[in-house]
Amino acid sequence: MSIQPDLAGVAFAAHLASFGDRPAVHLGSDTVSYAQLAWRVQEMAASFGSARRLVALEADNTLSSLTVYLAALSSGHPLLILPSGGGPAVESLLAAYEPDLIARSVDGGTTLEERRSGSKHDLHPELALLLSTSGSTGSPKLVRISAASVQANAQAIAQYLHLRPADTAATTLPLSYCYGMSVVNSHLLVGASIALTDLSVVDPCFWELMRSRSVTSFAAVPYTFDLLERVGFETMELPSLRYITQAGGRLDPARVRRYAQLGQERGWDLFVMYGQTEATARMAYLPPDEAADNPNAIGVPIPGGSFRLEPVPGLDESELVYSGPNVMLGYAEQPSDLARGRDITELRTGDLARRGPGGLYQIVGRRSRFVKIVGLRVDLGRVEKILADYGVTAAVAGSDSGLVAAVEGKHELSILAKTVAQDLGIPRAALTLCSVDSIPRLVNGKTDYPAVLALASQEPQRNPELPSAKACDDPKTIFADVLERTDVKETDTFVSLGGDSLSYVAASVRLESALGYLPDGWHLMPVCELTPKEPEAKPAGLNKAGPNPQPGTAPQRRRLIARMETGIVLRAVAIIFIVSTHVGLFDWEGTAHVLIAVAGYNFARFQLSGPRRERLKRQLKAVARIALPSMAVIGVAFATTDDYGWHNIFLLNTLVGPQGWTDMSRFWFIEILVHILVGLAALLAIPALDRAQRRWPWLLPLSLAAIDLLQRFDVIELPYPGQGPVLWLFAFGWAAALSKTWWQRSAMTLVALLTIPGSFSSEPRSATVLVGFLILLWITTLPVPRGLHRITALLATSSMYIYVTHWLVYPLFAEASLGLAVAASLAGGIAYWAFATRAMGAAERWLGRRRPSRASTAEAVA
């Protein structure tokens, strides 16, 4: 086989302008045409200079990264693709290959670091891409891909997927991953468009993007399907969806069959695919009409490719060998290898396979010790070497679901696991370290890897009701402890487990302490993706000189100021202002209404995901957690004072109590919040409104606000206890949480400026509400002295309990000291929060034990 070099670069990247004004890239509400993209690419290519150089790109799903990628491909500069975010793996590759030009992503743009004007490397004319073959382990072994191979694989994929210019693909995978890269290549080849995003499928905004941009496909790895089940994908209305592709590891056959059948029912296809980096991306695909009947198969070779089966000595099965124009040139292990041409014409996959009826191939095992973790190919031998470099003797086994390491001797396993997972670029939860006295071995002295793999099932399971200090390092344990769940899985999210605004603060503070930072949208991320950004510390013995720590190292000084989520800070500040105003320490009205907006903000984040029935259960559970503790306190107030009536206990004063503001109106905030939550639960249980919420997530709360604002502008009039309508504020907060683009935030700002001023009894109160809402809308985090983080989190968590109890607490201390009355009210509410949450948790566990097994299962899902 002969592949002719194309010194002009990859054809599809060089000919983008031929598609003219057709849309190429969708970025939120903006669209970049092919002509505009081609101009950007030409400008970027010109900045590379005329001399052919080795370019390194830390690739992420942004227009700037895509521009650099296409510029290198189109102009013939070999491109070393690196994962975004830096870290040891990236620095190791940069040190090994010394690229001439480095492109890094910074604040949504790209910075170019020019190390030399020419190139210090001898670059083969066919070389186009350098890709890591084993994930982000920092291994210097790279795959050398030619321009002709990139073009050929894109053409083959476009052919069997029947891609057309009207198609739009959402970038559910990173550009640095060859699977994600192949989605971009094949669509730009035919003049189709890319919806460029890094949103997860568990984020409601991703599905808004799917509908607003009429996305026709998205790519998935096996764990993506776990996430799809969590968000109720089976019931979603996605009229534009044409197909889903799956690769990155073996998908369970039962799940292949189920999703193939679901696709047949809903009008889209499932393409199960097989590939390796060494073949640019794809080698085989399973025709959608074969998936339900042959879910174990990888299918047939892609157009232009072929398979053969080569017997393996000592094994009953044969190795799968692939030939095609997309096969790599060969490997590179050092810079001098970049001058090499083609070393191979066929690819030995390392997979054992057989050919079944209809010419469909099936993988039955692996010849080499590689596994795929969330789409990353990991060399188990490489993992053992990393551990050895840290002075640790270990044996590593694994499967596509995770790695298990038997570690000899005494080590701090939690820190060691974080460090190794970071070096590998895999989720921390995918790595299990087991302490052993000696490595399990066979009678012939070789490592007994099946015994190593079995160690994971022998690890003692911790009771989540008895948390240990070390357990706090584990996001899975944090969720189990905070939410009092015993069934937390790696694919669960905080929201899918029933997390709400009451438990969010405690979980976020502990998670930030465990990870060293708090990922954006962590409450929608699966447990397996919640990994440390940087290791906290290298454990004793992790320096490569031996088991002792290096002398002279000093602990890093902690910053005195750190940031906390805006919603948390607003809740803490608001409850202090509310209590202080009621006590008479000072007068500052309006913060309770800010909390109404914060409640809507949290409702959008915690109460809108999942299938309709499961979501309804979660919403009613959240209402119970607010209503029952409040009713208990109000019951005590009714029994001990003459200020309240029976309707207060049942949170009905707003509806049946005296008109105007009276002492009975003091609990208006709790009453109205419960009424809103119950009403929304009932409305969203209606299938038509549920579909509307999924299809127009941002417009639905604005529609509810518009209806409620009819009272604000006196179009209609309903009785309220002195506070006026507030559903519109709740809806504003709901819409604010879903306002992801600049124009959406700007629109919400305009709406707020038109409606909030003049809506309340005084201009200072209106100003407070307006400023509080705009802060919530525009500012994600606020600076807080680190020493105040714990008290801020505690006040935010217990704010509702402080509100409902302070009416009974502060009169006991007000005559002695107003400051003491405020402090006692805060302390009393915190104490009641601690008692009530434990009591509610115990009651829920007791009810769970009394339910039949089917009900328990349903509760676990909800």
Domains identified in the chain and CATH numbers: 11-366 (3.40.50.12780), 380-529 (no CATH), 565-846 (no CATH)
**pLDDT (average), residues 652-661:** 84
**CA distances for 16 relative to 159, 212, 657, angstroms:** 19, 25, 68
The per-residue pLDDT for 511 is 82
**Residue 686 to residue 700: CA distance in whole angstroms:** 14
The per-residue pLDDT for 516 is 72
**DSSP letters spanning 493-525:** -TTTTT--HHHHHHHHHHHHHHHSS--TTGGGS
Helix H or strand E encompassing 424: helix 413-424
| Closest alpha carbon to 795 in 578, 511, 586 | 578
Helix H or strand E encompassing 732: helix 727-737
**pLDDT (average), residues 796-815:** 94
**Residue 777 to residue 698: CA distance in whole angstroms:** 14
The per-residue pLDDT for 520 is 73
The per-residue pLDDT for 610 is 66
**pLDDT (average), residues 237-243:** 94
* The pair of three-digit structure tokens given for residue 729, joined into one six-digit string: 């504020």
The per-residue pLDDT for 445 is 53
**pLDDT (average), residues 213-241:** 91
**Residue 232 to residue 680: CA distance in whole angstroms:** 19
Q: Which residue has the higher pLDDT, 615 or 354?
A: 354
Residue 273 phi, psi dihedral angles, 5° rounding: -130, 160
Q: Is 642 exposed, middle or buried (0-12, 13-18, 19+ CB in 10 A)?
A: exposed
Q: Which residue has the higher pLDDT, 473 or 726?
A: 726
Residue 611, amino acid: P
Q: Which residue has the higher pLDDT, 850 or 241?
A: 241
Confidence band, pLDDT 50/70/90 cuts, at residue 320: very high
Confidence band, pLDDT 50/70/90 cuts, at residue 216: very high
Q: Which residue has the higher pLDDT, 673 or 856?
A: 673
**Residue 477 to residue 50: CA distance in whole angstroms:** 55
The per-residue pLDDT for 206 is 92
**DSSP letters spanning 612-676:** HHHHHHHHHHHHHHHHHHHHHHHHHHHHH-SS--HHHHTT-HHHHS-SSS-GGGTTHHHHHHHHH
**pLDDT (average), residues 258-277:** 94
**Residue 504 to residue 599: CA distance in whole angstroms:** 12
Q: Is 560 exposed, middle or buried (0-12, 13-18, 19+ CB in 10 A)?
A: exposed
Q: What residues have CB less than 8 Å from 556, skipping those under 6 apart? A: none
> Is the pLDDT confidence value at 720 over 60?
no
> Is the pLDDT confidence value at 558 over 70?
no
> Is the pLDDT confidence value at 549 over 70?
no
Helix H or strand E encompassing 59: strand 55-59
> Is the pLDDT confidence value at 10 over 60?
yes
**Residue 643 to residue 216: CA distance in whole angstroms:** 61
CB 128 within 8 A of CB 338: no
Of 81-95, 279-293, 463-477, least confident by mean pLDDT is 463-477
| Closest alpha carbon to 125 in 301, 341, 382 | 341
CB 190 within 8 A of CB 164: yes
Enumerate the β-bridge partners of residue 104.
111
Confidence band, pLDDT 50/70/90 cuts, at residue 315: low
**CA distances for 10 relative to 72, 593, 793, angstroms:** 9, 58, 53
**DSSP letters spanning 741-802:** SHHHHHHHHHHHHHHSTTSSSSHHHHHHHHHHHHHHHH-SEEEEEGGGHHHHHHHHHTHHHH
Q: What is the pLDDT of residues 743-802, one digit of tens each?
A: 889 999 999 999 999 888 789 999 999 999 999 999 988 999 988 888 998 899 899 999
The per-residue pLDDT for 459 is 52
Of the chain, the end-to-end C-alpha distance in Å amounts to: 56
The per-residue pLDDT for 849 is 55
CB 391 within 8 A of CB 541: yes
Q: Which residue has the higher pLDDT, 713 or 114?
A: 114
Helix (H, G, I), strand (E, B), or coil: what is residue 231? Answer: coil
Q: Is 708 exposed, middle or buried (0-12, 13-18, 19+ CB in 10 A)?
A: buried
Q: Which of 19-33, 418-432, 546-560, 689-703 has the highest mean pLDDT?
A: 19-33
Q: What is the pLDDT of residues 474-507, one digit of tens each?
A: 788 888 877 777 778 777 788 778 777 777 777 8
Average pLDDT of the chain is 85
**Residue 637 to residue 617: CA distance in whole angstroms:** 30
* The pair of three-digit structure tokens given for residue 716, joined into one six-digit string: 């209609």
The per-residue pLDDT for 5 is 40
CB 382 within 8 A of CB 137: yes
| Closest alpha carbon to 595 in 789, 800, 788 | 800
Q: Please, what's the b/e burial string for 720-744 (b: 16 or more CB within 10 A of its CB; e: otherwise)?
A: bbebbbbbbbbbbbbbbbbbbeeeb
Of 15-24, 27-36, 107-116, 339-348, least confident by mean pLDDT is 107-116
Residue 517, amino acid: Y
**Residue 514 to residue 479: CA distance in whole angstroms:** 12
CB 495 within 8 A of CB 527: no
Q: What is the DSSP-derived secondary structure letter of residue 286?
A: E
**Residue 318 to residue 308: CA distance in whole angstroms:** 9
CB 226 within 8 A of CB 256: no
**Residue 425 to residue 91: CA distance in whole angstroms:** 13
**Residue 487 to residue 527: CA distance in whole angstroms:** 12
CB 453 within 8 A of CB 399: yes
Confidence band, pLDDT 50/70/90 cuts, at residue 135: very low
Portion of the chain with pLDDT greater than 90, in percent: 52
Q: What is the pLDDT of residues 284-314, one digit of tens each?
A: 999 999 999 999 999 999 999 999 999 988 6
| Residue ranges in 110-266 assigned as alpha helix (H) | 147-160, 178-190, 204-212, 222-230, 253-266
> Is the pLDDT confidence value at 136 over 50?
no
| Closest alpha carbon to 24 in 196, 154, 157 | 196
Confidence band, pLDDT 50/70/90 cuts, at residue 429: confident
**Residue 724 to residue 675: CA distance in whole angstroms:** 14
**Residue 64 to residue 58: CA distance in whole angstroms:** 11
The per-residue pLDDT for 446 is 61
The per-residue pLDDT for 288 is 96
Q: What residues have CB less than 8 Å from 2, skipping those under 6 apart? A: none
Portion of the chain with pLDDT greater than 70, in percent: 88
* The pair of three-digit structure tokens given for residue 171, joined into one six-digit string: 């970038």
**Residue 26 to residue 32: CA distance in whole angstroms:** 6
Q: What is the pLDDT of residues 39-81, one digit of tens each?
A: 999 999 999 988 999 999 999 999 999 999 999 999 999 999 9
Residues in the chain: 862
The per-residue pLDDT for 98 is 93
Q: What is the pLDDT of residues 833-851, one digit of tens each?
A: 989 888 887 787 677 655 4
CB 190 within 8 A of CB 237: no
Q: What residues have CB less than 8 Å from 433, skipping those under 6 apart? A: 394, 405, 407, 411, 413, 416, 417, 420
**pLDDT (average), residues 187-201:** 95
Which single residue is written with the structure tokens 């592709």?
245
> Is the pLDDT confidence value at 325 over 90?
yes
CA atoms within a 13 Å half-sphere pointing along the CA-CB vector of 594: 32
The per-residue pLDDT for 361 is 97
| Closest alpha carbon to 137 in 476, 347, 330, 389 | 389
The per-residue pLDDT for 705 is 92
> Is the pLDDT confidence value at 334 over 70?
yes
